């Protein structure tokens, strides 16, 4: 079975500081990984996915299969980045015949002015 | 285009009462799912469906029932509410083919006294 681990419940930084939200996974197959974000009073939404290899709002994430990690990084944090961030892994379930995402426990990022 | 609509937004129940959380989507998504969000536990999958007439259990299905009579609707039923079911519930959907990205509803906050 797949597992997603986000070791930090809370990450607190000052504006302009670099940010790294950690995500490690365990999965025997080829993973599809995502970062979702939930801003205050807003819905959960996709931030980025490893397949796209894009930068969204200054955030990037690289899949490291050797370390089984998908850490989210931003060189200079902004106050508006304060939110809850969830790492997710999507794996195919033969029993259900579909890709089923598993989420980590989430990391709350607080960016102080 | 409303996306994923959940009702009610807030509900207070007494132990033993029953209720249904409604979820509707207008994107013709085949896959629909219910998650509960608890502090420190992240998002945990309750039930999911890959199409009308097909449902399957997720990680924490006990105490919850679902049905999928149409593509658009995926209600979540609590037959006999317990305080342990106090949580925020999210419905999410996606197309089976194409990008594996979930679209979330706004959430339903349930308190069981």
Q: What is the mean pLDDT of chain A?
A: 92
- What angle (nearest 5°) sits at the alpha carbon of residue B102, between those of residues B101 and B106? 150
Asked if A44 has any chain B CB less than 8 Å from its own CB, the reply is: yes
Number of helices (H), then strands (E), in chain A: 0, 11
Judge whether B88 and B109 are in contact, CB under 8 Å.
yes
Question: What residue in B sits closest to A37 (Cα-Cα)?
Answer: B104
**For the segment B59-102, what is each residue's pLDDT rounded down to a tens digit?**
999 999 999 999 999 999 999 999 999 999 999 999 877 778 99
Q: Do B102 and A99 touch (CB under 8 A)?
A: no
- A23-to-A16, A55, A62 alpha-carbon distances in Å: 22, 17, 11
Judging contacts by C-beta atoms under 8 Å, the chain A residues touching residue B44 are: 103
pLDDT in the model for residue B107: 96
- In percent, the amount of chain B with pLDDT more than 70 equals 99
A52-56, A74-78, B19-23, B72-76 — which is least confidently predicted? A52-56
Q: Distance between CA B28 and CA B55 in Å, rounded?
A: 17
């Amino acid at each position: 079975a797949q597992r997603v681990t986000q070791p930090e419940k809370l990450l607190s930084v000052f504006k302009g500081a670099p940010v790294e939200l950690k995500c490690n996974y365990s999965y025997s197959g080829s993973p599809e990984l995502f970062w979702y974000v939930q801003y205050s009073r807003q819905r959960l939404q996709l931030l980025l996915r490893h397949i796209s290899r894009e930068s969204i709002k200054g955030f990037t994430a690289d899949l490291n299969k050797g370390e089984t990690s998908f850490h989210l990084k931003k060189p200079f944090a902004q106050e508006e980045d304060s939110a809850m961030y969830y790492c997710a892994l999507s794996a195919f379930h033969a029993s259900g015949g579909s890709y089923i995402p598993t989420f980590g426990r989430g990391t709350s990022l607080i960016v102080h002015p | 285009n409303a996306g994923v609509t959940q009702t009610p937004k807030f509900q207070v129940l007494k132990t033993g009462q029953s209720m249904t959380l409604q979820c509707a989507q207008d994107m013709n998504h085949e896959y629909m799912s219910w998650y509960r969000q608890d502090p420190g536990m992240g998002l945990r999958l309750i039930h999911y469906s890959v199409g009308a007439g097909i449902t399957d259990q997720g990680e924490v299905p006990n105490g919850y029932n679902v049905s999928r009579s149409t593509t658009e609707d995926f209600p979540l039923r609590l037959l006999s509410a317990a305080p342990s079911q106090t949580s925020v519930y999210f419905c999410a959907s996606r197309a089976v083919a194409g990008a594996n990205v979930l679209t979330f509803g706004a959430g339903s906050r349930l308190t069981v006294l």
